[in-house]
């Protein structure tokens, strides 16, 4: 992950909380609970807010390396065998995007949407991952549309505050309940 010892947490414009065992457990439990609820309705692929968060990548903001803890944990939980949501279906070893010699391909068990799991490493203490949708199969939306600011429970980290600030314009820190409610909100008809 990222070495947080030298980070300046005093920039109030950056949506992030200090990573602790308690905050990490709360993040994991909140995202797991949200995915459990979403899976009762259908699959997360039908939720624009889920798709947006799992695809967080600093390059989309023209910024240097930035890590979203909420994205990393959401990707990890979505891939877990416990949820039985995404299944590893292949390994890509040519024309890879990530930094570890292969990209992993996951498929949704319900709608068959295909994702590429991409892992990037910028230093020994700074690596992150995200999912890229490579074959969307969801035909309709169940979850609510994106609204901003998008609430994060843990937040954004990186080498330079200026890069984090480029990415942070669409995000704000929220409570566990705000993050859960935002991710699980159903589209109004």
- Read off the pLDDT of each residue in 33-60 and give the average, rounded to a whole number: 97
For the stretch 128-145, pLDDT in tens is 899 999 999 999 999 999
The pair of three-digit structure tokens given for residue 173, joined into one six-digit string: 């820190």
The partner residues of 39 in beta bridges, in order of sequence, read: none
Q: What is the dihedral of CA 129, 172, 16, 63, to 10 degrees?
A: 50
Mean pLDDT is highest, among 10-14, 67-71, 121-125, for 67-71
Q: CA 35 from chain center: how many Å? A: 12
| Contact partners, residue 164, CB within 8 Å, separation at least 6 | 14, 16, 63, 66, 156, 157, 158
Mean pLDDT of all residues in the chain? Answer: 91
Range list of β-strands (E), the chain: 66-68, 86-92, 103-108, 114-123, 126-135, 150-152, 156-158, 171-173
């Amino acid at each position: 992950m990222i070495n947080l010892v030298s980070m300046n947490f005093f920039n109030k414009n950056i949506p992030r909380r200090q990573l602790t065992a308690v905050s990490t457990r709360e993040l994991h439990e909140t995202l797991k609970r949200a995915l459990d609820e979403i899976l009762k309705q259908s699959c997360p692929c039908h939720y624009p807010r889920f798709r947006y968060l799992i695809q967080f990548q600093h390059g989309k903001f023209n910024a240097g390396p930035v890590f979203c803890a909420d994205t990393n944990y959401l990707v990890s939980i979505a891939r877990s065998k416990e949820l039985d949501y995404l299944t590893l279906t292949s390994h890509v070893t040519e024309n890879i995007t990530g930094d570890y010699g292969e990209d992993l391909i996951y498929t949704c068990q319900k709608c068959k949407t295909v994702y590429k799991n991409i892992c990037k490493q910028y230093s020994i203490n700074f690596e992150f991952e995200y999912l890229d949708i490579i074959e969307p199969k969801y035909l309709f939306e169940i979850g609510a549309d994106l609204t901003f600011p998008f609430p994060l429970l843990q937040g954004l980290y990186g080498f330079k505050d200026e890069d984090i600030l480029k990415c942070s314009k669409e995000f704000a820190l929220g409570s566990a309940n705000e993050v859960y409610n935002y991710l699980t909100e159903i589209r109004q008809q």
